[in-house]
């Protein structure tokens, strides 16, 4: 017998379809099927379709975060063919055609080997499935992980890394939908909308970037819009993801019909400058950006944060280039100066640090002690002779590296979560090493992630245990897993291409 499970490509509802194909002489009752639902608000229906020598048993499952009644409604709409553009999209043959169309649109790096290419395609497919397609305020958001249920929310770093990766993979429309989710809804007024976009239930004001979104009616709420958390990290990543979308849009046109960046920017410039880049610039204090405090605390933490500052510098540099295209000379100057001041501050602090032990660092220096400092290399922020560049690799190897191979933890003095192996850090380090031309290091780290994912059915988890091969957290992980792998794959491809041309 053959078994297929798929998420119908044409529907915007939360529908999962399984199909068991048996020879006509078989009896499905003797196969021993058993299904258990661990999450509420599911509607289920099965039916049989005969096709000559075989019989197809379909199992259609609908989910709605609000209630079982809406899940039943969605199931009826799907089976009646009213949830998509065409007829009821439960046919496995149709899904194979849809998958073929997705593969045709997908950009795949040329110099990946077979194992790397399989993981790449799987990662892109997962990100497409992780994006909310249901109409309403949550449309376009990308959740942090498929399972467990506690990871099915949107966090800024996951959401924007995923949007960034989808643009690189050739899906600018999906990236644009992710950006619109973050930048458009609730930006100018506080609204009480439920997850379906209707005017009742709890509400969420996303303002500039999204906070956590559960998709089950458990959104946070505030008395007024000014209490809604503003994610500085998400704000910076939003511009980086937007730039990736802009490049993807350029690739959609023939070389002899390129549309100027200023034309694509014209409709978004006011929002990008006033709602995003200006926020980054004027939140800087002592040339550093503040740390996100999260949904439970104050809007922003007074502590500076090196990762937020790095991404802010990259975002302000991009915004400065945009301002030049839009002939906004004052913003061009201010954004460029802001980016330079951040990089100079990080360089000055890195020059004073001792990387041999975390215990050698005082409270101020600990603010710089973060493995994602490597993104200063990935984003071309550090010069080759930069103190921060040298500090990054030394600190990772001496204080963040685990004994069990090329795996790194988030903080040596952190809790259980921080002290697990984070494939995300390994992938970002591989990306930085590839950008820096460190072939052996980049290949070793990249290959380790591919091997690990191969043992986990081509999934990159949020956390990994090298000793047992176990995975924890989001499985697969969106921004910290699939998206990070896609971005690393493109950087590895660029490195291999450079080396190939030198031969």
DSSP calls for 119-132 = HHHHHHHHHHHHB-
Q: Binning pLDDT at 50, 70 and 90, where does residue 247 land?
A: very high
Domain positions in the chain: 2-97
User: Residue 211: left (phi > 0), alpha (psi -120 to 50), or beta?
Assistant: beta
Name the nearest CA neighbour of 216 among 230, 231, 202, 199. Answer: 202
Please give the average per-residue pLDDT across 44-72, as a whole number: 81
Please give the average per-residue pLDDT across 258-280, as a whole number: 81
For the record, the structure tokens of 123 come out as 């990662």
Query: Does 80 or 500 have the greater pLDDT score?
Result: 500
For the record, the structure tokens of 379 come out as 């984003």
Task: Kindly report the pTM of this predicted structure.
Answer: 0.82
Is pLDDT of 209 > 50? no
Is pLDDT of 491 > 90? yes
Name the nearest CA neighbour of 259 among 273, 271, 248. Answer: 248
Specify the pLDDT at position 361.
59
For β-strands 54-63 and 463-465, DSSP reports them as unpaired
For the record, the structure tokens of 430 come out as 């591989």
Specify the pLDDT at position 79.
81
For the record, the structure tokens of 350 come out as 């890195």
Is pLDDT of 155 > 80? no
Please, what is the average pLDDT of the chain?
79
Distance CA 85, CA 101 (A): 15
Share of the chain above pLDDT 70, in %: 75
Asked if 283 and 290 touch (Cβ cutoff 8 Å), the reply is: yes
Q: Binning pLDDT at 50, 70 and 90, where does residue 327 land?
A: very high
Q: Binning pLDDT at 50, 70 and 90, where does residue 352 land?
A: confident
pLDDT in tens, 418-474: 889 999 999 999 999 999 999 999 999 999 999 999 999 999 999 999 989 999 988
Is pLDDT of 384 > 70? yes
Asked if 216 and 194 touch (Cβ cutoff 8 Å), the reply is: no
Q: What angle, rounded to 10 degrees, do the helices at 114-130 and 439-455 form?
A: 60
3-state secondary structure at position 56: strand
Distance CA 477, CA 471 (A): 10
Asked if 102 and 170 touch (Cβ cutoff 8 Å), the reply is: no
Q: Choose the weakest-confidence range: 42-46, 103-107, 367-371.
A: 367-371
Is pLDDT of 393 > 60? yes
Please give the average per-residue pLDDT across 257-278, as a whole number: 80
Please give the average per-residue pLDDT across 211-215, as a whole number: 43
Is pLDDT of 172 > 90? yes
Q: Binning pLDDT at 50, 70 and 90, where does residue 311 land?
A: very high
Specify the pLDDT at position 477.
92
Q: What is the dihedral of CA 446, 450, 456, 459, to 10 degrees?
A: 70
């Amino acid at each position: 017998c053959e078994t297929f499970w798929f998420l119908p490509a044409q529907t915007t509802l939360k529908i999962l379809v399984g199909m068991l194909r048996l020879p006509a002489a078989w009896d499905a009752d003797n196969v021993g099927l058993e299904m258990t639902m661990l999450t509420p608000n599911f509607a289920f229906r099965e039916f049989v379709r005969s096709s000559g020598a075989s019989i197809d048993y379909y199992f259609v499952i609908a989910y709605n975060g609000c209630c079982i009644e809406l899940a039943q409604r969605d199931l009826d709409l799907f089976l009646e063919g009213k949830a998509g553009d065409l007829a009821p999209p439960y046919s496995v043959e149709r899904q194979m055609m849809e998958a073929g169309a997705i593969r045709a649109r997908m950009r795949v790096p040329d110099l990946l080997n077979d194992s790397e290419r399989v993981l790449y395609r799987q990662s892109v497919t997962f990100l497409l499935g992780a994006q909310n397609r249901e109409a309403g305020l949550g449309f376009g958001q990308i959740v942090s992980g498929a399972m467990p249920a506690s990871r099915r929310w949107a966090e800024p770093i996951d959401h924007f890394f995923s949007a960034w990766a989808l643009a690189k993979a050739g899906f600018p429309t999906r990236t644009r939908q992710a950006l619109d989710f973050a930048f458009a809804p609730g930006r100018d007024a506080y609204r009480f909308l439920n997850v379906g976009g209707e005017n009742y239930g709890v509400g969420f004001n996303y303002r500039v970037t999204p906070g956590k979104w559960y998709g089950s009616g458990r959104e946070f709420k505030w008395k007024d819009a000014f209490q809604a958390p503003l994610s500085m990290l998400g704000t910076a990543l939003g511009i980086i993801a937007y730039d990736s979308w802009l490049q993807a849009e350029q690739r959609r046109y023939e070389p002899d019909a390129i549309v100027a960046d200023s034309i694509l920017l014209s409709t978004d410039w006011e929002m990008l400058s006033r709602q995003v880049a200006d926020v980054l610039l004027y939140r800087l204090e002592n040339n550093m950006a503040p740390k996100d405090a999260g949904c439970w605390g104050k809007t922003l933490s007074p502590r500076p944060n090196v990762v937020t500052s790095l991404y802010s510098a990259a975002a302000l540099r991009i915004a400065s280039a945009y301002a030049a295209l839009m002939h906004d000379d004052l913003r061009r100057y201010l954004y460029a100066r802001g980016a330079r001041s951040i990089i100079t501050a990080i360089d000055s602090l890195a020059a004073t640090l001792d990387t041999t032990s975390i215990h050698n660092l005082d409270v101020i220096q600990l603010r710089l002690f973060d493995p994602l400092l490597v993104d200063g290399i990935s984003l071309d922020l550090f010069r080759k002779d930069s103190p921060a560049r040298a500090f990054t690799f030394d600190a990772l190897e001496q204080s963040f590296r685990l004994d069990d191979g090329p795996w790194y933890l988030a903080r040596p003095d952190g809790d259980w979560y921080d002290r697990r192996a984070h494939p995300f850090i390994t992938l970002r380090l591989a990306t930085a090493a590839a950008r820096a031309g460190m072939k052996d290091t980049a290949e070793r780290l990249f290959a380790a992630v591919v091997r690990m994912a191969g043992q986990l059915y081509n999934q990159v988890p949020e956390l990994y245990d090298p000793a047992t091969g176990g995975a924890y957290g989001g499985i697969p992980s969106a921004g910290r897993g699939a998206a990070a792998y896609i971005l690393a794959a493109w950087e590895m491809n660029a490195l291999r291409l450079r080396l190939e041309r030198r031969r």
